[in-house]
Structure 1
Amino acid sequence: LLMPRGPAIAYPKDISAMLMMMDVHPGDTVLETGSGSGAMSLFLSRAVGPKGRVLSYEIRDDHHSLAKKNYRHWRAAWKIGRMEEWPDNVDFILKDISTAAADMESLTLDAVVLDMLNPQSALPVVYQSLKQGGVCAVYLANITQVIHLLDRIRTCKLPFSCERIMEVTHRNWLVLPAKIKNFKSNQISVPYVAKPSYWQEGHSAFLTKLRKFGPLLS
């Protein structure tokens, strides 16, 4: 959350949920569209490990440069703090994913993350490389975008089933010793006050889980 950013970044609570949706394993190959500030790229990098690969596409040059810079700085800081190498397993690609059909021909993707304004434009390109049963996790800011996404899947008859649409909400609590008049420091029993925190995290995104299915045999 403290990294330099241009576009808004996905919150760790949402990224963690998306990683669980995709069930990313060490050694997986994962496609990300929308490098942004590189936050999701870092989480994916750790999830796939040294033997895995993350392909991160970004259409904007400024976002592409910032994501690469943040990733490079993270790797350098990790080496200084941990005395070990963070895996160099992310390829940042400056390209519109909707024009990258040729790139996808030789790939087999274990999972896909779409964090872009119109993810429906990427689905016809990436679905052919996504393995059967593979998950495409989509990060969208509002429910209208979710509707447009699902309608495009329906009208284009793309081989995806929508398994889940969710928000991730956390409720923060305060648990503190109560302030008591004439309190004696040698008292063994101390009453506590437990209440929801005044500061709560609001809505951040709708997370949509799509799974690729194969055609039924007649």
Structure 2
Amino acid sequence: MTKIFGHRGAAGSFPENTMPSFLAAIDVGADGIELDVHLSQDGIPVVIHDETVDRTTNGKGFVKDLNYSQLHSLDACYRFPAQSGKAFIPSLEEVLIWSSPGDFIVNIELKNDLIHYEQLEERVIELVYRHSMPSRVILSSFNHHSLRKCHSISNEIETAALFSERLFEPWNYAKTLSASAIHPIHYAVDETSIQLSQENGVKVRPFTVNDEKKMKSLFKAECAGFFTDYPERAAAIKK
């Protein structure tokens, strides 16, 4: 059964990577959420997409140069002024505390392809275990060295390789990383590559799928899942 992942929550309708966005995604029927993690100046895994806070908050500066208290005090309402005062940068732990009683999947994207965060993998994995969620978490990254490191720390937690171009036999490449899934940009895979990957034991979950026609084709192809800014649209089609 193809699983629907709310990309940065329900990012088409709520401020991305915030608790209101994650709550909305699960409320409308998503099977999981996707979020992005950087490290604060004081070494706390925080949930935000960009290397800086400039685009999505009322602050300025690099995430790595601000401590968690400073980051959490920023208003992250972004394009949704109605959410002002309700949407903030959460810590990964805050999201996992909320998630742990549920049954949905949490895809954690490690945002370490541009900035090297010392101990990011160790700190994220420690939190996953602290909240007893290794079977409900996927670790993904464009930094494939980081995925290998994650697998060496814990072979219980699923890892998935993100990429933005067509690969030759992507299922074989995934296996060189000890990854059990690939998360390609949606135009980098077709029905044949989805089928061949999954026949070879590698799950396929394209991103970011907002077109309803594309959603229908992925359900038809029985891909493992996909990421969308509009989980409510995908849930309606799935029904």
Task: Determine if the TM-score, normalized by the shorter chain, exceeds 0.5.
Answer: no
Q: Normalising by structure 2, what TM-score? A: 0.34
- Larger-Rg structure: 1
Q: Normalising by structure 1, what TM-score? A: 0.36
Q: Quick check: which one's helix share is greater?
A: 2
Q: Quick check: which one's strand share is greater?
A: 1
